[in-house]
Structure 1
Amino acid sequence: MRTAATLRTALNTLALAIAKGCIRAYQLTLSPFIGHQCRFHPTCSNYALAALDSRGPLKGAWLALRRLSKCHPFHPGGFDPPPTPRLVEEAP
Structure 2
Amino acid sequence: MKKISLLLIKFYQLLISHLLGPRCRFQPTCSQYTATAIDRFGLAKGSVMGVKRICRCHPWNIGGYDPVPEDYT
> Which residue pairs with 2:10 in the alignment?
24
Kept in 2, the 8 Å contact 1:54–1:85? The answer is: no
Moved over 6 A (4+): none
Q: TM-score, normalised by structure 1?
A: 0.74
How far is 1:24 from its partner? 0.7
CA deviation vs aligned residue, 1:2-35 (integer Å, no higher than 9, x gap): xxxxxxxxxxxxx101211110110111111111
Matches within 5 A, 1:1-80: 15-80=1-66
- Describe the SS at the equivalent of 1:29: helix
Distance 2:56 2:35 in 1: 17
Structure 1 unaligned residues grouped into runs of 5+: 1-14, 87-92
Distance 2:24 2:54 in 1: 10
CA deviation vs aligned residue, 1:22-72 (integer Å, no higher than 9, x gap): 101101111111111110000001101110111011000000000000011
Q: TM-score, normalised by structure 2?
A: 0.91
What is the number of residues matched between the two proteins? Answer: 72
Structure 2 unaligned residues grouped into runs of 5+: none
Q: Kindly indicate whether structure 1 or structure 2 has the higher relative contact order, using CA contacts under 8 Å at least 6 residues apart.
A: 2
